[in-house]
Structures are given as C-alpha cells and as structure tokens.
Amino acid sequence: MSRNAPAIDAQRLSLILNDLRLPAIKLVWSDFTTRADKEGWPGARLLAALAEHEIAERDRRRIERHLGEARLPPGKTLDSFAFDAVPMISRAQVTALCSGDGWLEKGANLILFGPPGGGKTHLAAAIGLALIENGWRVLFTRTSDLVQKLQVARRELALEAAIAKLDKYHLLVLDDLAYVTKDQAETSVLFELISARYERRSTLITANQPFGEWNRVFPDPAMTLAAVDRLVHHATIFEMNVESYRRRSAIQRQSRAGRPPTFATIKSTQEMSRSDNQTCE
C-alpha cells in the first residue's frame, strides 16, 4: 500500500462484503490488494480480478451443491466409459449432448436401450455428471424408487406438488424402467410424470426392453402408446446391443491370468447373465 494511502478498516470492509454477499472476495481481498500494491496493478485490474474470483467460487459452490443433490452413482464418467466396447455410440455425439444446449432447453429426451450389463447406467450417469459441470441440474434415480415415492405422494393427495418439485431438474434420469412392477397404481404415476414433463423438462430413460415390449411395464395398451409417443416425440435414442461388461470382464480376467476360460468361469458368467435379468445395472 502506498505510504500516503488512507488506512483500510478491515473489519468494516468485511461487514460490507457480507452485506453484499461476496464471501469469496471477503476471504482473498487482502492477498489480492497486497499483490496489486507490489506489482502496481491499476484499480480496474484489481477490481476485475476480485470479481472473476467471486464468480469462479460461486460456480464451484453451485456445482458442488448440484452434485450433492443429483445422487449420481460414483465413478461413472465419460473418461471411464469404454466407447470402443459400444461401437454404435459416437463419442462426438455424446460429447455434444453433454453441453446441454438446445435439447435441454426444448425439453427433449434421451433414451438408452440395451441388455443388462451393456453400460446404459454408466453412460447415463456420465452424461448427468458432464451436464452438471456445464451448469445444468440433474437428478438420477432408479425408476422403481421414484415411482414408490410418487405413490406415497398420491395417497397423501400431493402427487401434483411432488411432480412439480421435479421441475427444478433440467434432466431427470430414470434408470431401469423395466423394473417397475406391472401394476396400475405404479404405472399410472409414472405416466403422469412423463406427461407432466412432456415438452417442458427433459427425461433420460434406460431400459432393457425396446418399445415393442413396454406392455410389460404399462398394463394398459393405450397408456403404453401414449407414454412412448410423448417420450420419442423429441428424443435421441441409443441402442446399446452389446455383450455384458460384467461377463466380458470375467473372461478377460481369466485370459490376463494366462489361461483359457474355465468351465467354472463360463458357468459364472452364465449366472451373471441370469442375475442381470433380475437386478439393476
């Protein structure tokens, strides 16, 4: 600080920054001004540096909050997704979707089809993570878990309010649609959710069955047709018809150990296949 410059009342400045809701500047202004004095920064540069720091910290805190509320499964990123094992999925197309521009603003949907173990959940979570990092809000949930919550809300005459609360999420990821019980009460709240978000908010769905088999989810053929119609009207659809990661990994582990797959390994992978059809990805 210049010898002739007036002294700064640090306590008063902290109170002012509190009132202005500038917590990041409050923490660093002293260091920034010391550096500015040493390096002879003009006032505009100091002001810009402080403002940029505040904005960066707000972005960091926002992403941190949104990651906490998103409930994404851990470790599922685009970098760890094996694009080479799913050749029908374009990395460039997925990267473009992760910006969120255009499709989220229009309430368009994303649907991932494929057998169990093919990476649908991983890709859905990775897209959700990238969107959060780009400033969007995402909620990841097993479809059956959310349906149960909505059923409770219906019994309490609060279904409309519960669905409205989900509007704050630009993308709602419904993982494992097929595991919803074919029950009129469950599927009706799921249909109401799909209808409420139609052309307003985006939904990402992972499902083991193609649309032609969705009558296993919705008991009413008319409801099945209406649900599919709303979901595909503005949608990007990925068909991930590949071998299960889990079965392939088990065989690869045997190969890396320097021996061919044994009968036990093959039997184990067959059991994984049966298990995959009973449990979530």
**Average pLDDT of 126-142?**
96
How distant, in Å, are the alpha carbons of 79, 127, 136, 146 from that of 201?
27, 16, 12, 16
Mean pLDDT over each residue of the chain, to the nearest integer: 84
Supply the DSSP symbol for 108.
-
Instruction: With cut-offs at 50, 70 and 90, classify the pLDDT of residue 210.
Output: confident
Domains in the chain, please, with CATH? Answer: 10-69 (no CATH), 83-239 (3.40.50.300), 245-276 (no CATH)
- How far apart CA 203 and CA 186 sit, in angstroms, is 18
Q: How large a percentage of the chain has pLDDT more than 90?
A: 60
Does the pLDDT at position 281 exceed 50? no
Does the pLDDT at position 2 exceed 60? no
Burial state string for 189-222 with b = 16 or more CB within 10 A and e = fewer than 16: bbbebbebbbeebbbbbbbbeebeebeebbeeee
63-73 tens-digit pLDDT: 999 999 999 99
Q: Enumerate the β-bridge partners of residue 206.
A: 112
187, 223 contact by CB (below 8 A): yes
Q: pTM surpassing 0.85? A: no
